[in-house]
Amino acid sequence: MMEDKTNSPYIILVVEDDEALSVLIQKKLQKTGFRTESVLNGAQAIAWAVDNPSSLMLMDYKLPDMSGKHIIEALSDRQCNIPFIIMTGYGDERVAVEMLKLGAKDYLVKDAGFLNLLPTVVKRVIEHLTAEKILAEAEERLQRDKELYGNIIESMSDGILALDRHFFFTHWSNVMERIFKFPREELIGTTKRPWDVFPYLVEHGVDVMMRQAMSGEVIEQENIPYYLSDGTRGFTSNIFLPLRTASGKICGIVGVVREVTEHKKAEEQILKLSCAVEQSPSTVIITDTKGNIEYVNPKFTQLTGYTSEDVLGKNPRILKSSETSKEKYKQLWDTIKSGKVWRGELHNRKKNGEHYWELASISPIKNNKDTITHFIAVKEDITERKIMENQLVQAQKSEAIGQLAAGIAHEINTPTQYILSNIHFLRDSFSSICKLLEKYSHMLEVIKAGSVTPELLTEVEVMAKEAAVGYLIEETPKAIEQSQEGLNRVSEIVSAMKTFSHPGNVEKITVDINEAIKSTITVARNEWKYVADIETYFDPNLPPVPCFPGELNQVILNIIINAAHAIDEVSDKGNGGKGIIRISTRCDRDWAELRISDTGAGIPEDIRSRLFDPFFTTKEVGKGTGQGLAIAHSVVVRKHNGTITLDTEIGRGTTFIIRLPLFPNTIEKGRIS
């Protein structure tokens, strides 16, 4: 075999039954540098071609077993499209044409110049085949790239459109179809421009932007509205870029379209919320988890006098007044750090030193992983309300004390009366005992001098008899004891008054409720003792309750007086028919509960809903003003976060139930009612 000068990957299969000619042909080709093989008939040619499809067949048309045409048809049946050159005898050009139609790359007529022409023809065919192959590969690559870019474009979450130089659509991605609910078939390949299909683009200047992009600018637009055929409106943010050929000439534009409707809605929502916070009549403070202030709203500045600059990065404790206890703050932080909401009243100080009261609700803000990221405090200035409430309670308290004063005076008067008469008795008996003692000491002198007379003895005896010494010895200790009892009673009443009219506290203090009730019962004794007996059932294990004791006593007094009045209404006066007021306390998990029940007439259905209304009364002028239960409600519910309810049965009596939280500032989410 000759040296391969062409480097051609093709092997030339010579299909020729004339062996001598076949050798000549092969030699000629080998000389030019081609590799050759040869077969003598059609069957061999088919078998070889199937095994070596990327070869070139140089085929004689007439073979002993079949014609060239049959070979090609047989190969085509086997899906083998091997390139071939046909060789025909002289004068057989008709066959040549037929074979060209069947796909022959060229033909050679076996005439005198045949062997000389052969290498040129084969070379040309091979060159042609090589060029074809390169082209096919390039096309395949192009197709692959096209698919890849197409896939990239289609897998983008943004919509992509492309327009040619005339603003006719050349691309409209799936996302575009989804956003605008418009199929690409109605755009691509048509002579519609974007503004022909979507006229509103002109209104929002999108056509101008597209033209600018077509002249080479990169254009960005945000929040451009679009409208669907069903009337709904959405928003997109768009970028338009010029599209250039390899030589840099602009051949169209590409648009990248992002659907931002939800985003814009969320933004609007946030805007609304932030407006609400900014304009809120409540103070809003947001801190990080360490308590450093990150945000305060204008109301905060208005109320406290501190600007945002004053407080950003600082701890809200700058507002703390000395009246709010450390424990309260600790409890506040413990509550919110454990993920719960803290509610309570805080006594704070403004920048100018003025004090104020606020009702605060402080909650943790959590991220989607349930981790606390911030705290938010929403607070209401309740200074005015506190002052008014205090004034109201104070007014009623003064009134009650005035009303109680007569009763208390009476209560103190009784023991005072008998203490006084005992003292009279002791004074008289002391003076007669003194006289007697003088007589006795005179008698002693006389006896010592030995001059005692029977008259003197009789005189002393008469005097002792007159002084009723035996009686005095018996009665004096009794009088002293009785006076002592009386004084104890007085001091008990005085101390109960003190406990009852507890000075108003700024902060809640923990109090033994049982003691508080006892003192109230004592000071109010004159109000109930003629109509009822009081029975108490105190829970000795009731923990101290955080409260405003003065105000709570007032509530208990109001309810006891109501109970006495209710019993008085039904009691059979003069027949000794006294009623019973039962007072009990108990601890119910996180609550202290106290019940005050009476054996009065009960409360008719139709007035039950109005009992706690201010100035609602069924009593005659002078007996009631209708403030008692209104104040009780305000004190228990507003000031103590407690509840006040009642149970009543016509003809049997009424029970008022007061429940006070033992941990009043800890309110779990969802439990606030």
Ligand X SMILES: Nc1ncnc2c1ncn2[C@@H]1O[C@H](COP(=O)(O)OP(=O)(O)OP(=O)(O)O)[C@@H](O)[C@H]1O
Rank residues 372 and 637 by Cβ distance to Mg ion and give the closer one.
637
- CA-to-CA distance for 128 and 136, rounded, in angstroms? 12
Assess contact for 50 and 137: CB atoms under 8 A: no
Rank residues 562 and 655 by Cβ distance to Mg ion and give the closer one.
562
Rank residues 316 and 628 by Cβ distance to Mg ion and give the closer one.
628
Task: Name the minimum Å distance from CB 561 to Mg ion.
Answer: 6
Task: Name the minimum Å distance from CB 430 to Mg ion.
Answer: 50
- CA-to-CA distance for 68 and 79, rounded, in angstroms? 17
The residue nearest Mg ion at its CB is: 628
Rank residues 194 and 628 by Cβ distance to Mg ion and give the closer one.
628
> With CB cut-offs between 5 and 8 Å by kind, which of ligand X, Mg ion, none does residue 643 bind?
none
CB neighbour class for 43 (10 Å; exposed up to 12, middle 13-18, buried from 19): middle
Torsional sign, CA 191, 196, 197, 201:
positive
Per CB under 5 A, which region of 300-308, 471-479, 494-502, 620-628 contacts Mg ion? 620-628
Q: What residue ranges bind ligand X (CB under 6 A)?
A: 558, 562-563, 566, 598, 600, 603, 611, 616-619, 624-630, 654
> With CB cut-offs between 5 and 8 Å by kind, which of ligand X, Mg ion, none does residue 364 bind?
none
User: Which residue from 486, 628, 642, 653 is in contact with Mg ion, where contact means CB under 5 A?
Assistant: 628
The count of residues in the chain is 673
Residue 84, strand partner residues: 57
Assess contact for 2 and 30: CB atoms under 8 A: yes
Rank residues 266 and 395 by Cβ distance to ligand X and give the closer one.
395
> With CB cut-offs between 5 and 8 Å by kind, which of Mg ion, ligand X, none does residue 499 bind?
none
> With CB cut-offs between 5 and 8 Å by kind, which of Mg ion, ligand X, none does residue 329 bind?
none
Task: Name the minimum Å distance from CB 562 to ligand X.
Answer: 3
Asked if 562 interacts with Mg ion (CB under 5 A), we say yes
Give the rounded distance of the alpha carbon of 558 from its chain centre.
42
Task: Take residue 255 and report the two structure tokens written for it.
Answer: 């648009």
Complete DSSP assignment for 272-298: HHHHHHHH-SSEEEEEETT--EEEE-H
Sheet holding 372-381, edge to edge: 293-296, 283-288, 372-381, 355-366, 341-349, 666-667
Task: Name the minimum Å distance from CB 416 to ligand X.
Answer: 29
Rank residues 265 and 619 by Cβ distance to ligand X and give the closer one.
619
Task: Name the minimum Å distance from CB 396 to ligand X.
Answer: 7
> With CB cut-offs between 5 and 8 Å by kind, which of ligand X, Mg ion, none does residue 625 bind?
ligand X
How many other CB atoms are there within 10 angstroms of residue 354's CB atom? 11
Give how far Cα 109 sits from Cα of 113, 390, 506, 658, Å: 9, 127, 124, 123
Task: Name the minimum Å distance from CB 503 to ligand X.
Answer: 23
Q: How many residues bind Mg ion (CB under 5 A)?
A: 2
Assess contact for 338 and 353: CB atoms under 8 A: no
Rank residues 333 and 616 by Cβ distance to ligand X and give the closer one.
616
Task: Name the minimum Å distance from CB 493 to ligand X.
Answer: 22
Task: Take residue 650 and report the two structure tokens written for it.
Answer: 């016509």
> With CB cut-offs between 5 and 8 Å by kind, which of ligand X, Mg ion, none does residue 598 bind?
ligand X
Rank residues 95 and 400 by Cβ distance to ligand X and give the closer one.
400
Picking from 115, 93, 116, 91, the residue whose alpha carbon sits closest to that of residue 104 is 93
> With CB cut-offs between 5 and 8 Å by kind, which of ligand X, Mg ion, none does residue 298 bind?
none
Assess contact for 425 and 479: CB atoms under 8 A: yes
**Which spans of this chain sit near Mg ion (rule: CB under 5 A)?**
562, 628
